[in-house]
């Protein structure tokens, strides 16, 4: 399996904590800090090699250009099956809360979405295998380590939605000016939120699989949010409604 870089202090620390298989941790000579101390301790506890290298060598290794003086080299993030996401919900005694991303292209958006998804307790994210950003070093960096705790499945989005429907999930699509106000829609059951790509939105086939379309009310002059912002608003609305119902 091809090794990948995990870059930045928090992403490396969370990868170590979460048990990601890591071969070597590279640290720029002279780098200090509390988080770095935690990284060293955790790597030593796991028997992982630590190498101190000149900062310019580390910069040459970096894919993101923002390694903060530390890079871990290890296995890529392991993808799961869609059924594993449902099992994650069942193991917590919770109704499924799933995010499906229809061809998100921007690593910044994807990383931000993962970070929020982890914060609200999403059970998993589904992404396409083609024409979409995967879990790259840049995505991991932007997620600030949250990617280590969110199950991510790759597959055919339309087929995944069909399967999740058979498991009792309600599929909620999002579009800028179409559908029910998200603050008036009932989002308290088993939910799959479907977020479209930055430029094209939801593909026709994916949109047809949605049980309902919701929109975020826009009161200003700009009539749309980017994918990460829209996903954050909707995920927190699901969380709000669930907590209110308890």
CATH of the domain at 149: 3.40.1280.10
Query: Residue 220's pLDDT is what?
Result: 78
Q: Residue 246: pLDDT above 70?
A: no
Q: Distance between CA 203 and CA 198 in Å, rounded?
A: 12
Q: Do 180 and 200 belong to one domain?
A: yes
Query: Residue 101's pLDDT is what?
Result: 96
Q: Which residues pair with 51 in a beta bridge?
A: 26
CA distances in angstroms from 3 to 22, 68, 174, 234, listed in the order given: 9, 20, 36, 35
Task: Answer with the one of 46, 74, 102 that is the final residue of a domain.
Answer: 74
- Residues 104-131 have a mean pLDDT of 95
Q: Residue 128: pLDDT above 90?
A: yes
Q: Residue 200: pLDDT above 70?
A: yes
- Nearest alpha carbon to residue 226 among 125, 106, 115: 106
Q: What is the mean pLDDT of the chain?
A: 93
pTM above 0.95, yes or no: no
In terms of C-beta density within 10 A (0-12 exposed, 13-18 middle, 19 or more buried), how is residue 223 classed? exposed
Q: Provide the domain count of the chain.
A: 2
Domain, as residue range, for 55: 4-74
Q: Residue 19: pLDDT above 90?
A: yes
Query: Residue 197's pLDDT is what?
Result: 81
Q: Residue 153: pLDDT above 80?
A: yes
CA distances in angstroms from 211 to 111, 139, 162, 172, 178, listed in the order given: 27, 30, 11, 6, 13
Q: Do 116 and 52 belong to one domain?
A: no
- pLDDT bin (cut points 50, 70, 90) of residue 131 is confident
Q: Do 18 and 122 belong to one domain?
A: no
- Residues 3-11 have a mean pLDDT of 95
Rounded (to 5) percent helix, strand, coil in the chain: 40, 20, 40
Q: Do 113 and 228 belong to one domain?
A: yes
């Amino acid at each position: 399996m091809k090794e990948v870089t995990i870059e930045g202090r928090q992403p490396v620390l969370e990868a170590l904590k979460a048990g990601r298989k890591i071969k070597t941790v590279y640290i720029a000579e002279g780098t200090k800090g509390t988080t770095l101390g935690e990284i060293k301790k955790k790597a030593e506890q796991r028997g992982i090699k630590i190498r101190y290298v000149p900062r310019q060598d580390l910069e040459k290794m970096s894919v993101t250009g923002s390694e903060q003086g530390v890079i871990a080299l290890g296995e890529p993030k392991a993808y799961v099956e869609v059924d594993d996401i449902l099992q994650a919900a069942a193991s917590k005694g919770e109704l499924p809360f799933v995010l499906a991303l229809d061809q998100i292209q921007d690593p910044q958006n994807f990383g931000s979405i993962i970070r929020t998804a982890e914060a609200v307790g999403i059970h998993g994210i589904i992404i396409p295998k083609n024409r979409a950003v995967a879990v790259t070093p840049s995505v991991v960096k932007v997620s600030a380590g949250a990617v280590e705790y969110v199950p991510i499945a790759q597959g055919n989005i339309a087929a995944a939605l069909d399967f999740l429907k058979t498991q009792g999930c309600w599929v909620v699509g999002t579009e800028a000016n179409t559908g029910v106000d998200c603050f008036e829609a009932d989002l308290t059951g088993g939910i799959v939120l479907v977020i479209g790509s930055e430029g094209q939105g939801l593909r026709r086939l994916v949109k047809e699989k949605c049980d309902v379309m919701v929109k975020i009310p826009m009161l200003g002059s700009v009539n749309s949010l980017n994918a990460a912002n829209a996903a954050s608003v909707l995920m927190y609305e699901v969380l709000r409604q669930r907590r209110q119902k308890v």
